[in-house]
Amino acid sequence: MRLFKSRIVHKINFGKGRTIKELMYKNLFRKTIKVWVETTGDSIYSKISIDDRVVSKIQCVLQEEGILLIGDITPFIKKSYRCKGYGSLMMDELFKYAYENEINKIVGNLSLVDSDHKERLKAFYEKNGFRVIEYELPTEGHYGEIIKIM
């Protein structure tokens, strides 16, 4: 079964380096799903909305040349949105942004705050091509890190 029927790509320029790319999907449940990347200075956000309501986002910061740090992934506003592929849609849009902007590495830390759902996070990152490294002992509030070479 194919979840998404159509894909329409829009590029909107808001000036001052702020652009939004929207991918609009009409799924089988007649909900409009939009995925886009917003940039403001060194901050980069991959966001997803369902029926024009933002339901989650991935917050990133452009570090040194060619490296993007994932700072946080905001949990979905409804548990029913989990495990539907929406997080992977945001990640795919982030990968496209990275490719277009010559970012060759995406990294992140695995926070102890998220240790109650370690396995789900590990599966998500591995499914999206990240190498997941778990530390033997937690360091500075982190139990591991993720790395993806583009």
Residue bearing tokens 């996070």: 121
Token digits for 81?
A: 């949105």
Ramachandran bin of 116, using left for φ above 0, alpha for ψ from -120 to 50, beta for the remaining angles: alpha
**% of the chain residues with pLDDT over 70:** 81
What pLDDT digit, counting tens, does each position of 65-107 carry? 899 999 998 888 787 777 888 899 999 999 999 999 999 999 9
pLDDT class for 115, splitting at 50, 70, 90? confident
Helix axes 118-127, 86-100, angle to 10 degrees: 50
Q: How high is the pLDDT of residue 15?
A: 40
pTM of model > 0.85: no
pLDDT tens by residue, 14-38: 344 444 444 445 455 677 889 999 9
Answer with the residue of higher pLDDT: 117 or 58.
Answer: 58
pLDDT for 38: 95
Query: What are the tokens at 24?
Result: 């609009």
Are 57 and 45 in contact by the 8 Å Cβ rule? The answer is yes
Q: Identify residue 9 by its one-letter amino acid code.
A: V
Q: How far apart are CA 142 and CA 87, in angstroms?
A: 21
How many percent of the chain have pLDDT more than 90? 53
Q: Which residues contact 49 (CB under 8 A, 6 or more apart)?
A: 33, 34, 55
Domains recognised in the chain with CATH numbers: 4-149 (3.40.630.30)
What's the pLDDT band for 12 if we cut at 50, 70, 90? very low
Strand partners, 23: 9, 35
